[in-house]
Structure 1
Amino acid sequence: MRERGYVWLGAVLLSGALLAGCAADGASDNSTSGAAGKAAAPAAREAQQDAGAGAATQGKDTAAEAPDLRVDQRSIVYTGSITVQVKDVNAAAAQATGIAGGSGGFIGGDDRQSGGDSTGTATLKLRIPADKFASALEQIAKLGTEKNRAINTEDVTEQVVDLDARIAVQQARVDSGRKLLGQATSLNDLVMLEKEVATRESDLASLQAKKRRLADLTALSTVTVVLLGPDGVAPVDTSDPSGFLGGLSSGWHALADSLAILLTVLGALLPWIVALGLPAWGVLYLRRRYVRDRAGPRLPTPTTETP
């Protein structure tokens, strides 16, 4: 019984030692994981702060890049035409050129028809800054008697915004292509990347040219000035009318054009018809006559009388 009691006592002591070791290991693991968690928490918070700051920065950039679509900030192309009857065409043309120069613009075209002092005409194409478009027209109208005026506007704001976005994207593609070109390690990669970068740069240059063209049209308006002498006649609008009369006029002109084309073709074929048709008709006539002469006269067909 004593020996059996010693055995049980040893087993109890061994079990307690094992349990104490496991508890110590668990405590050490918990402390280690807690320390790791405490060390990782600031990093996670810092990452979240960086992400939040990045999102805020992105939001600010997006808000900054949003186009300003107010009326005074829109891109508008102004074009106009005005016809003025003046006493002296050349003097009025010089004054109109001076008005354009005084407004910060220039003359883009000058077409003059000399018909004497009273019937001469001049057609000027002036480029005037958009903010001085209306005042320049008023000054030109005061050179004489205004006959007619027309003003057209075209809002190209959406085109400008679209071009800006496309240019930004294409510029980023060009920059990335150049970066990859600097990292090329083989001749094949170098040739391929050079071709790709050249294509991207060409597309970027095309977009930038379109942007400059729109910028020129919006910055400088185009005004066509027609100056008439005292006895000059304003040019008549020769555009086709619409409606029934327009359709009738178009049909008549189409018929006349078709007949003109048909007569032209007939005139071109007539010499060939004469040169080839007459010999062919002569050969055919002689052949028929030869066949008829060779056959000889025909005998009358006998008739039988019935009693």
Structure 2
Amino acid sequence: MKFNTKGFLFTIFITIVLLSGCGSKSENYDPAPAPMPTPSSPAESPREVPRFDSDEQVSNESILLSTDRKIIHTKNILMETLDFDAAREDVNMLVNQYAGYIENADITGTGINNRFNGNRSAYYKFRIPTERMTLFVEDLMALGNVTQENSSAEDVTLQYFDLDARIKSLVIKEERLLNLLEQGTELKDIIELEKSLADTRYEIESYISRLSRLENQVSFGTVTLNLREVIEITEIKDPPKTFREKVSSGFIDSVETVKNIIVETVIFIIVILPYVIVLGILLLIYLIVKKYYKAKSKTGSTKEINKKEDK
């Protein structure tokens, strides 16, 4: 069989052409482009941030951040003293020294030697200028033995400026009512305006009174003192921590309690002894008189019986 060279070469040529065409199609393949946004589906726009006017930003926080804070200071002190009269004099001198005043004072008891009326105690309520209050409290606590103290501070800045704003608003309202009253001609309108004007002035006076009271409380701090007369100063001890210390402390307290009960009982007996003696004497006299009249009555009855027998 004779080999056909031309046919073989032609077959190879056709094969190469076909393979080249497939490779070209593969390299030139371009995927479909992504669809463009249409007017019916617009891209999402960024969220708008709400903005406020400068007047709306003025709030309670700006008032609280102001340097002119309105604060009411209060201090409570419980104190003991061995010399009650001297402590009272020192307290009065101290209040005058710091340009304050005593708003309230209440003294009970007649003296440490009076058994039935108890030891004396005094309750004071001082008003001291706020800028001097710290030094006043330090000097006051040095006059005796302080057993308890506490303090508080109330911020009334918002309340203060609210009252001030209300007063200014009502003053403007009052001026407008006065202008309308001057222009009024009808009696009905004049009566209504005068009524509104009277109500407005009453509100102004009420708010001014509250504002003045608030200013006084801010300008003058309040210090309360409970002063007690004692025979022995109370010793402030640290609380027991270990088991041994707790047992020892409890036993000592029990012994002290029993001792105090015995002492108080003996004192009570001694105090009421004169009354018991007097009552005993009166009871003895009553028994003697009763026995005497009983014997006399018995003797009289015996005599009557003897007379009847003789008859």
1:181 equivalent to 2:176? Answer no
Asked if the contact 2:64–2:158 (Cα under 8 Å) also holds between the matched residues in 1, the reply is no
Q: CA separation in 2, counterparts of 1:233 and 1:174?
A: 62
- TM-superposition CA deviations, 1:133-160 (whole Å, max 9, x none): 1111111100011111110110000111
1:172 equivalent to 2:167? Answer no
> Aligned in 2, Cα 1:67/1:102: closer, same or farther, shift over 3 Å?
farther
Partner of 1:122: 122
Q: CA separation in 1, counterparts of 2:232 and 2:109?
A: 11
> Aligned in 2, Cα 1:75/1:179: closer, same or farther, shift over 3 Å?
same
Please tell me the residue identity of whatever aligns with 1:174: E
Partner of 1:200: 200
Instruction: Find the partner of 2:107 among 106, 109, 112.
Output: 112
SS at structure 1 position matched to 2:188: helix
- TM-score, normalization: structure 2? 0.51
Measured after TM superposition, the shift of residue 232 of structure 1 is: 8.1
1:95 equivalent to 2:90? Answer yes
Partner of 1:218: 218
Asked if the contact 2:82–2:231 (Cα under 8 Å) also holds between the matched residues in 1, the reply is no
SS at structure 2 position matched to 1:172: helix
Q: Which runs of 5+ in 2 are unaligned?
A: 1-53, 114-118, 235-311
> Aligned in 2, Cα 1:153/1:194: closer, same or farther, shift over 3 Å?
same
Q: Considering only aligned residues, what root-mean-square deviation do their CA atoms show, in Å? A: 2.6
Please tell me the residue identity of whatever aligns with 2:106: D
Measured after TM superposition, the shift of residue 214 of structure 1 is: 0.7
Asked if the contact 2:112–2:120 (Cα under 8 Å) also holds between the matched residues in 1, the reply is yes
> Aligned in 2, Cα 1:120/1:68: closer, same or farther, shift over 3 Å?
same
Asked if the contact 1:82–1:150 (Cα under 8 Å) also holds between the matched residues in 2, the reply is yes
Partner of 2:135: 135
Partner of 1:147: 147
- TM-score, normalization: structure 1? 0.52
Partner of 2:70: 75
1:219-238 equivalences under 5 Å are 219-231=219-231
Asked if the contact 1:120–1:232 (Cα under 8 Å) also holds between the matched residues in 2, the reply is no
- TM-superposition CA deviations, 1:204-259 (whole Å, max 9, x none): 1111111111111111111111111123899xxxxxxxxxxxxxxxxxxxxxxxxx
Partner of 1:288: none
Q: Which runs of 5+ in 1 are unaligned?
A: 1-58, 235-307
Measured after TM superposition, the shift of residue 67 of structure 1 is: 6.8
Q: What percentage of aligned pairs have identical amino acids?
A: 28
Asked if the contact 1:67–1:161 (Cα under 8 Å) also holds between the matched residues in 2, the reply is no
Measured after TM superposition, the shift of residue 114 of structure 1 is: 2.0
- TM-superposition CA deviations, 1:31-55 (whole Å, max 9, x none): xxxxxxxxxxxxxxxxxxxxxxxxx
Q: CA separation in 1, counterparts of 2:65 and 2:130?
A: 17
- TM-superposition CA deviations, 1:33-92 (whole Å, max 9, x none): xxxxxxxxxxxxxxxxxxxxxxxxxx9xx99xx976457520000111111111222221
> Aligned in 2, Cα 1:232/1:171: closer, same or farther, shift over 3 Å?
farther
Q: CA separation in 2, counterparts of 1:115 and 1:158?
A: 47
Point out the structure with max Rg over C-alpha. 2
SS at structure 1 position matched to 2:143: coil
Asked if the contact 2:128–2:223 (Cα under 8 Å) also holds between the matched residues in 1, the reply is yes
Q: How many residues of Structure 1 are paired with residues of Structure 2 in the alignment?
A: 173
Please tell me the residue identity of whatever aligns with 2:128: I
Please tell me the residue identity of whatever aligns with 1:93: R
SS at structure 2 position matched to 1:161: helix
Partner of 2:81: 86
